[in-house]
Amino acid sequence: MTTVTSPLAGRAIGLAAVPDPVFSGAMVGPGTAIDPVREPSEAVSPVDGVIVSLHAHAFVVVDEQGHGVLTHLGIDTVQLNGEGFELLVNKGDTVQRGQGIVRWNPAAVEAAGKSAVCPVVALEATAEALSDLRDEGDVKAGDSLFAWN
């Protein structure tokens, strides 16, 4: 079992509340979403593992069980072309849970006309594979979001 923790401080809102049908419909996979605090911060790794995909606005960490966890920083933020995002690691790096991956500012994302909501998704998983899913309430970076069985 893998415990997936929050990459950000904010409020858990669940995937259904994400303003993007691909995420809200769980087409990418099941999980939850965080409405982050509106201050510059670091998005941290939700699991121990290897960075297999790394973009300014999104990253995937695969743990030793082969579970890939996607953290997407905001919605439609790919359109910002990396502006306002700073990568702190490289693709292929081994990272620890809680290690900073991307520095960003959710308030600047909103000022650019994008949603700051951050889906945290279990890639190639079924909803049944997840338990203890957190989809409401305040969370700190490192708080448990769900268990992947």
Residues belonging to the active site: 72
Work out the number of other CB atoms within 10 angstroms of the CB of residue 33.
28
* Contact residues for 80 (Cβ-Cβ < 8 A; gap 6+): 56, 57, 109, 112, 114
Rounded CA separation 10/88 (Å): 21
Rounded Cα gap, residues 96 and 68, in angstroms: 14
Contacts of 41 (CB under 8 A, 6+ apart): 8, 9, 103, 104, 105, 106, 141
